[in-house]
Amino acid sequence: MNRRAFLTLAGVAPAVGAAAPARRTEVSIRGEQFFLNGQPTYAGRSYQGLKIEGLLMNMRAVQGIFDDLNPQTRGKWAYSDTGQWDPERNTRELVAALPQWRPMPVLINEDGHFRFDQPENHMMTALAEHVSWGYFDPGASNYADGYQCPPVNWGINTERKRQFFAKLKEVTGA
């Protein structure tokens, strides 16, 4: 799947000549809570006595549709197995990883503080204040670590990613 098709399916770019999709997701804010299709996110959910209902747990994945057309910097994002940057591959691999994420409502934002295995971390501090929290994993442009620096392995393939998704599943009940 190319980036333009991904953006069109995601509702980010208009589809030229395409019929309107039969289904649409409605996101709204009522007071201090987020709603999806008229229902609060994580309806009725709490975690360790903290209200989770109405929050958005999220992570940054914008690099899934990233390209660098500058020949002077394009090589920074090269895949180790090919020695070339391939934005179409990057988008295909993000789309292929989405089923791993599907059980847990994940949206987009960032915070680069980890320690998910510790009782006190930024995620828990945010939840204690009933504030939505976003995961940011910078990586190292090595196709292994993180979700931030291309090339990106969009799978749940590192200990840090596994800890984040395990904590997210624990918190949200997904």
DSSP string, the chain: --HHHHHHHHTSSPPTTPPPPS----EEEETTEEEETTEETTTT-EETTEE-TT--EEE--GGGG-----TTTGGGG--TTTSS--HHHHHHHHHHHHHHHTTS--B--------TTSSSSHHHHHHHTT--EEE-----SSSSS-SSSSS---SS-SHHHHHHHHHHHHHH--
Of 26-40, 71-85, 121-135, the one with minimum mean pLDDT is 121-135
Q: Is the pLDDT of residue 110 over 70?
A: no
pLDDT for res 6: 46
Of the two residues 51 and 129, the one the predictor is more confident about is 51
Of 43-52, 71-80, 97-106, 143-152, the one with minimum mean pLDDT is 97-106
**How many C-beta neighbours within 10 Å does residue 172 have?**
18
pLDDT for res 141: 77
Q: Is the pLDDT of residue 101 over 80?
A: no
Q: How far apart are CA 46 and CA 41, in angstroms?
A: 11
CA trace torsion 60, 65, 71, 74 (10° rounding): 50
Q: Is the pLDDT of residue 105 over 70?
A: no
DSSP-derived pairing of the beta strands 39-40 and 33-36: antiparallel
pLDDT for res 138: 79
User: What are the residue ranges spanned by the domains of the chain?
Assistant: 42-172
Residue 173 near residue 108 (C-beta atoms within 8 A): no
Q: How far apart are CA 1 and CA 22, in angstroms?
A: 21
| pLDDT per position as a tens digit, 116-157 | 888 887 778 777 777 777 777 777 878 888 877 788 888 899
Q: What is the pTM of this model?
A: 0.54
